[in-house]
């Protein structure tokens, strides 16, 4: 602990010394001489703790002076419980994501996804959100974080050159890495407060089986929502794709097929309505003020001093 305004303490000390000096100077000695002292019966006996009000006043002034010096703890850790989710946005960066949507505004599928994700992130102020991308393989772009400004900068950086040399669609790899990220970073294992939002424009063409990864998500208490980006009829009607969509919904997730930027926005708003969980967030604070540690006991001591002065035994009599 340290005090930010030590000069106030010196001022208080000087003021207190001046008050005590003035009190001492004003006291005048009184001398009496009599031969009849034994003829008077003692009517009043000072209590054992007669000086208690004065001591309490001094203690109160000392504590209040410490409070005015602005005491702080240089470094503290605080656990904060909040209502929110751990969410991973898994984004397909295969070559087809550079194509225009059926309703080309914005111009490419990836641009539409980026716009929808940023709007989603802006609404989820209490959530920790991470970003995973995948094509032939999957990669973590941003771990789970409450710093959404930092996350948006990474979302803006997504483009077709990020995974240059790859071009397939490994949905199972994207889900598997998202599961791993949520499992490792989540502070409440087993709680249903973990979500993956998967954005893809095609079927799985590389990597592990997405059905296996989806089953692992459910076993870990992770909900998966699927947002298809302008899925062509030929792909949407394939048995593999239909099985995957049914599995997503069977595990409690939602599936969407967005053919325009407006559809993507509607899908993100629907996912935004999912039930929230409870997160434990650890915050680190420098120079945490603790003036109440001194102010409250000081006020209590001052009140006790005034209360004692109202008791006849502690009232000065002349």
Digit-coded pLDDT (tens) for 276-291: 555 555 555 667 777 7
Give the residue from 8, 22, 37, 20 showing the smallest Cα distance to 294: 8
Is a pLDDT exceeding 70 seen at residue 75?
no
Q: Which of 83-87, 100-104, 176-180, 285-289 has the highest mean pLDDT?
A: 176-180
Backbone φ and ψ of 50, nearest 5°: -60, -30
**Token pair belonging to 96:** 């087809």
Residues 6 or more apart whose Cβ sits within 8 Å of residue 171: 92, 134, 198, 200, 203, 204, 207, 210, 213, 244
**Looking at per-residue confidence, does 111 or 288 come out higher?**
111
Question: Does the predicted TM-score (pTM) go above 0.75?
Answer: no
**Token pair belonging to 64:** 């209040």
SS3 72: strand
- Cα–Cα distance measured from residue 296 to residue 64, given in angstroms and rounded to the nearest whole number: 8
Structure-token match 């997405």, residue found: 210
Find the mean pLDDT for residues 134-141: 93
Residues 6 or more apart whose Cβ sits within 8 Å of residue 261: 101, 103, 105, 106, 112, 115, 116
Domains of the chain, CATH where assigned? 2-23+47-70+291-314 (no CATH), 79-281 (3.40.50.410)
24: exposed, middle or buried (C-beta count within 10 Å: 0-12, 13-18, 19+)? exposed
Find the mean pLDDT for residues 248-256: 89
- Cα–Cα distance measured from residue 3 to residue 70, given in angstroms and rounded to the nearest whole number: 6
Is a pLDDT exceeding 70 seen at residue 49?
no
């Amino acid at each position: 602990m340290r005090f930010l305004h030590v000069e106030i303490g010196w001022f208080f000390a000087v003021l207190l010394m001046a008050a005590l000096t003035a009190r001492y100077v004003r006291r005048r000695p009184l001398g009496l001489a009599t031969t009849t002292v034994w003829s008077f019966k003692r009517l009043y006996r000072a209590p054992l703790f007669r000086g208690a009000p004065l001591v309490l006043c001094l203690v109160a002034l000392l504590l209040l002076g410490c409070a005015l010096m602005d005491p702080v703890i240089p470094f503290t850790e605080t656990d904060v419980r909040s209502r929110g989710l751990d969410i991973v946005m898994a984004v397909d960066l295969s070559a087809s994501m550079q194509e225009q949507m059926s309703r080309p505004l914005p111009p490419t599928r990836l641009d539409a996804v980026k716009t929808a994700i940023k709007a989603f992130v802006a609404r989820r102020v209490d959530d920790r959100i991470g970003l995973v991308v995948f094509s032939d393989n999957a990669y973590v772009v941003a771990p789970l974080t409450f710093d959404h400004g930092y996350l948006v900068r990474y979302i803006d950086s997504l483009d077709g050159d990020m995974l240059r040399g790859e071009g397939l669609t490994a949905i199972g790899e994207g889900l598997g890495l998202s599961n791993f990220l949520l499992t490792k970073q989540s502070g409440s294992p087993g709680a249903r407060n973990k979500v993956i939002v998967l954005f893809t424009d095609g079927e799985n063409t590389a990597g592990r089986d997405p059905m296996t990864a989806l089953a692992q998500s459910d076993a870990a208490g992770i909900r998966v929502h699927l947002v298809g980006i302008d899925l062509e009829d030929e792909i949407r009607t394939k048995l593999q794709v239909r099985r995957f969509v049914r599995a997503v919904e069977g595990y409690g997730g939602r599936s969407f097929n967005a053919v325009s930027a407006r559809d993507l926005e509607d899908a993100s708003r629907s996912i935004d309505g999912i039930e929230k969980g409870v997160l434990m967030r650890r915050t680190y604070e420098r120079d945490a003020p603790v003036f109440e540690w001194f102010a409250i006991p000081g006020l209590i001591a001052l009140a006790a001093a005034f209360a004692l002065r109202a008791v006849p035994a502690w009232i000065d009599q002349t």
